[in-house]
Structure 1
Amino acid sequence: MLLHRIHLNPRSKDARRDLADPYQMHATLCRAFLPPETKCPRNALLWRLEPEPDVQGYPRMLIQSQTVPDWSRLLESGWLARTEPGIDLVQKLALSSLATGQSFRFRLRANPCKTHQKKRIGLLRPDTQREWLVRKGKRHGFILPALNTPDYFGFSEKPEGSSRIDVRTLQDQMLIGRKPDSTTIQVFSVLYEGRLVVRDPDLFRAALASGIGHGKVMGLGLLSIIPM
C-alpha cells in the first residue's frame, strides 16, 4: 500500500479542468497507474485534494495505491508541477503490527449521507455528520474518543451525560463531476479531522486499504493517519 503526494500546476489548462471536475481528475490519475486504454477499476486508487496548497500556492494531492505510478504519462501537458517519492504505508505505519488501543490523528474527506427513497442525501448538520462517522467507525474497527478537555465556557451541544468527540467537520461542499456521456454526478462532501482509536486491527487495516463511504471516484474515502 503506497502513498504518493503530487503538486499540480495551476497554469495548466488540463490541471484546471480536472480541479473543477473530480470525476475527470480520477480518470486522469488512473492514466498514471494503468496501461493506455485500460479501464480504471473502482478500487485502483484512493485520492484526496488537500485543503492546504504548497508553499508556492500549488494544489497538493494525496494518492494511495497498490501499484507504482508512472507519472511521466501526465507530464506532456504540464499537468504536474512536481512529485514526491512514494511511501510504503505498511512499513511507515507498522500496519502489520497494529494493536487494539493505538491512537492516531486522522484526516478524511467523505460523503456522510442517508438513503431516502433509493437516493443518497447528504447530511448537512455537523452533529449528524459526526454521528455518521461514529457508525462508520464501528463498522471499520475504530472509535472516536471523547475530548480530554471540557468546552471552554462549559457549554455542550449534546444532552448532559454525553461526550463531545475529538473530531472537527470542515469544508462542506457539493462536488460536481461529469461522465463521458455528459451525465452529471453530484456528491456532498465533508472534511473530517480528529483522533481515533483502533478497536479491531483487521477491520481497520481493511478500511485503510479500501477507503470509507461512497464517492471514491470523486476523491472521497481516503483515510490518512498519523501516530500519536
Structure 2
Amino acid sequence: MTLHLAKLTLNLQSSEARRDLADPYDMHRTLNRAFAGSDGLSPFLWRLEDCRPGDLPVILVQSKDAPNWQQLPERWSVDQAQRVWEPEKVILPGQWVRFRVLVNPTISTVPKGVEVQGSARGYRKRLGLIKAEDQLSWFQRQGQRLGLHRVSATVVRSGKVRSSKKKGHPMTVVITLLEGQALVADVAALARGIGTGIGHARMLGLGLISVAPL
C-alpha cells in the first residue's frame, strides 16, 4: 500500500485558514478540494498537530491518492512538505513501534428504557468515553485489530471538539490524544489501519495513526 503523507503549515494571515482552524468540518471541506477527483467516501485522513505558543499550526494529511495542493485557497498555507511511503516496507513483524493518534473513543449501547425485540440493530446509540481508563481500554481493543501486542498507551489530553456544520446541525464529539508504544504482530493489519484510520468522526480530523519504528 502506497500512501501520500503531507505536512501543511497554515498561514494565520489567511482568513480562510483561521476559519478552518475554528471548525474541523470547514477544515475537512477545504482539504477535500485537493482530492476532488478521488473515489470513495473518505479519501484522506488528517490531524491538527499540537503546537507550542507562537508556532504556526500544522496539519498532517494522509491519502492513498496524490493530492493537488494547488486547489487550496491562495496563501492558505506557508509551507507544504510531503513524502510517499509504504507501511509494509517500513514496519516489520516483531518490531517495536511508537504511535500517536487523535481519536473519538466510543461504545455502542442500547439506551436505558428501550425495550428491544429481536435484533438490537437500529436501537443502539454511540456514546463517547470520558474516563481515561475507559479510553485506554478502548484503544487496547483497537490495538488488537491493528495487529499490535503489548500496547502501552498514555492519554496526553482529552476533551471535546465541536463542529457547527455537520448537515446543518451542531455536532460535539469526545476526543483523546494517545501516545505510546507496541509490538507489531501483524504488519498487514497495521498497514490497513494506517491507511484507513481508526474510530469514528474521521472527517473531523480524527483516526489518523502515526507509527514509526523505535
Secondary structure of 2:157's counterpart equals strand
Any stretches of 5+ residues in structure 1 without a counterpart?
Answer: 146-165
Match of 2:104 in 1: 111
User: For the structure 1 residues 199 and 183, does the alpha-carbon distance in structure 2 shift closer, same or farther, using more than 3 Å as the test?
Assistant: same
Secondary structure of 1:69's counterpart equals coil
For 2:90 and 2:8, how far apart are their aligned partners in 1?
A: 28
Q: Deviations over 1:1-52 (max 9, x none)?
A: 11100001122211111111111111110101214xx8x8432000100012
| Equivalenced residues, count | 199
TM-score (norm 2): 0.85
Secondary structure of 2:188's counterpart equals helix
Match of 1:51 in 2: 50
**Structure 1 residue 61 corresponds to structure 2 residue 54:** no
Match of 2:183 in 1: 197
After TM superposition, list the pairs within 5 Å mapping 1:37-186 onto structure 2. Answer: 41-52=40-51, 57-76=55-74, 78-84=75-81, 86-90=82-86, 95-96=88-89, 98-117=91-110, 118-145=124-151, 166-179=152-165, 181-186=167-172
Q: Deviations over 1:154-210 (max 9, x none)?
A: xxxxxxxxxxxx321122121111336421222111000110111112111111110
For 1:176 and 1:42, how far apart are their aligned partners in 2?
A: 22
Q: Any conservation in 1 of the 2:25–2:166 contact (CA below 8 Å)?
A: no
Q: Any conservation in 1 of the 2:91–2:213 contact (CA below 8 Å)?
A: no
Secondary structure of 1:109's counterpart equals strand
For 2:133 and 2:19, how far apart are their aligned partners in 1?
A: 34
**Structure 1 residue 215 corresponds to structure 2 residue 194:** no
For 1:140 and 1:183, how far apart are their aligned partners in 2?
A: 33
Deviates more, 1:26-35 or 1:1-10: 26-35
For 1:193 and 1:175, how far apart are their aligned partners in 2?
A: 19
For 1:181 and 1:121, how far apart are their aligned partners in 2?
A: 20
Match of 1:153 in 2: none
Q: Indicate the percent of aligned positions where both proteins have the same amino acid.
A: 34
Q: Any conservation in 2 of the 1:144–1:167 contact (CA below 8 Å)?
A: no
**AA paired with 1:10?**
L
Q: Deviations over 1:91-147 (max 9, x none)?
A: xx5x247432111111000011112332221111111111100011112211244xx
**AA paired with 1:63?**
V
User: For the structure 1 residues 133 and 181, does the alpha-carbon distance in structure 2 shift closer, same or farther, using more than 3 Å as the test?
Assistant: closer
Deviates more, 1:123-132 or 1:111-120: 111-120
Q: Any conservation in 1 of the 2:16–2:73 contact (CA below 8 Å)?
A: no
Match of 2:6 in 1: 4
Q: Any conservation in 2 of the 1:24–1:178 contact (CA below 8 Å)?
A: no
Aligned alpha-carbon RMSD (Å): 2.0
Secondary structure of 1:195's counterpart equals strand
Any stretches of 5+ residues in structure 2 without a counterpart?
Answer: 111-123
- Structure that is richer in strand per residue: 2
Q: Which 4+ runs in 1 deviate beyond 4 A?
A: none
